[in-house]
Amino acid sequence: MGSISIKTDEDIAGMRVAGRLASEVLDFITPYVKAGVSTGELDRLCHEYMVNVQQTIPAPLNYCPPGYTPYPKAICTSVNDVVCHGIPGDKVLKNGDVINIDITVIKAGYHGDTSRMFYVGQPSILARRLTDITYECMWLGISKIRAGAYLGDIGHVIQQHAEKAGFSIVREFCGHGIGKIFHEEPQVLHYGRPGTLDQLQAGMIFTVEPMVNAGKREIREMGDGWTIKTRDRSLSAQWEHTVLVTETGYEVLTVSAASPAPPALIEESHAGKPAAVA
Ligand code: MF3
Ligand code: CO
Ligand code: CO
């Protein structure tokens, strides 16, 4: 604890741009997420858009944390029982699949990191419920953010909401500080107790990105060194935003024209105020 960076005004301006651009990649790819497309094709389309249209750098490509092999693609595509870090390839999407697409771009040295869930055709009732609850979990966690709050407040509300629905929270992966570095302090756990861990200060920037399983929380790693699946092969969902802590609340940085609206339970608690609560 204790080395969470406080961003300068210049950093915050750069992070707003990077965040919007990351979200715009998701806007761009949305119409292509259909039965018959391969995850490799989604990666190719996003990669071209980032490099040629946005002039951004895909942060995942060749990303190599200690103990890992270099990540081989520009985006992550996590289908059905894949929890996170699915590597795009020959897999063809079919009706009923659910997929998380996770985008991290670098612009002028700053990282924007965001992911959404997509339905391929008509989702099952379970897939829809898991996706909706996970979206609410992310937003409930975000809604706790303000100077003086605790990281444990975020984890607690996320865990409570997922477990109340009969789902489970993945423990091995968490949100993270982000800026000129892709993954920095703090770790933002998606479970925990209120009033514990670091206290938030205005100018901190981190992600909230809960991974929620329909079955048990245990995971297994595939032989490719990256792909994480649920151990019991149950469905898994994830949403992610990059968020700035302000004195009185938060500002979601990964927003764009087609960002999904916050869920009703957040709109209600903020009485119609916009998503970015300054
Ligand atoms: N974007 C992921 C996150 O939310 C990290 C992906 S690392 C990669 O932190 F190398 F797999 F892309
Ligand atoms: Co992230
Ligand atoms: Co991400």
**106 CB contacts (<8 Å, ≥6 apart)?**
18, 56, 57, 58, 59
- From residue 131, how far is each of 60, 97, 127 by CA, in Å? 24, 12, 6
Classify residue 73: in a domain, yes or no. yes
Classify residue 55: in a domain, yes or no. yes
Instruction: Give the count of domains, the chain.
Output: 1
- Ligand 1: atom nearest CA of 207 is 4
- Ligand 1: atom nearest CA of 73 is 12
- pLDDT tens digits for range 102-121: 999 999 999 999 999 999 99
- pLDDT tens digits for range 212-256: 999 999 999 999 999 999 999 999 999 999 999 999 999 999 999
- What integer pLDDT is reported at residue 204 of this predicted model? 99
7 C-beta closer than 6 A to ligand 1: no
- What integer pLDDT is reported at residue 246 of this predicted model? 98
Per the CB < 8 A criterion, the answer to whether 206 and 177 are in contact is: yes
Classify residue 3: in a domain, yes or no. no
Could you say which residues of the chain have pLDDT below 50? 271-274, 277-278
Classify residue 52: in a domain, yes or no. yes
- Ligand 1: atom nearest CA of 75 is 12
Classify residue 275: in a domain, yes or no. no
Assess whether the previous peptide bond of 186 is cis (omega < 30° from 0). yes
Classify residue 274: in a domain, yes or no. no
- What integer pLDDT is reported at residue 267 of this predicted model? 76
Nearest protein CA to atom 8 of ligand 1, as residue: 60
Classify residue 1: in a domain, yes or no. no
- What integer pLDDT is reported at residue 269 of this predicted model? 66
43 C-beta closer than 6 A to ligand 1: no
Nearest protein CA to atom 3 of ligand 1, as residue: 113
Nearest to 24 by CA among 254, 273, 275, 238: 254
- What integer pLDDT is reported at residue 2 of this predicted model? 53
Nearest protein CA to atom 11 of ligand 1, as residue: 85
- What integer pLDDT is reported at residue 272 of this predicted model? 39
Classify residue 132: in a domain, yes or no. yes
The reply to whether the predicted model has a pTM over 0.75 is yes
Write out the residue range of the structural domain in which residue 80 sits: 9-269
Q: At what angle do helices 9-29 and 39-48 cross, to 10 degrees?
A: 130
CATH number at residue 141: 3.90.230.10
36 CA to centre of ligand 2 in angstroms: 28
**198 CB contacts (<8 Å, ≥6 apart)?**
1, 2, 4, 150, 151, 186
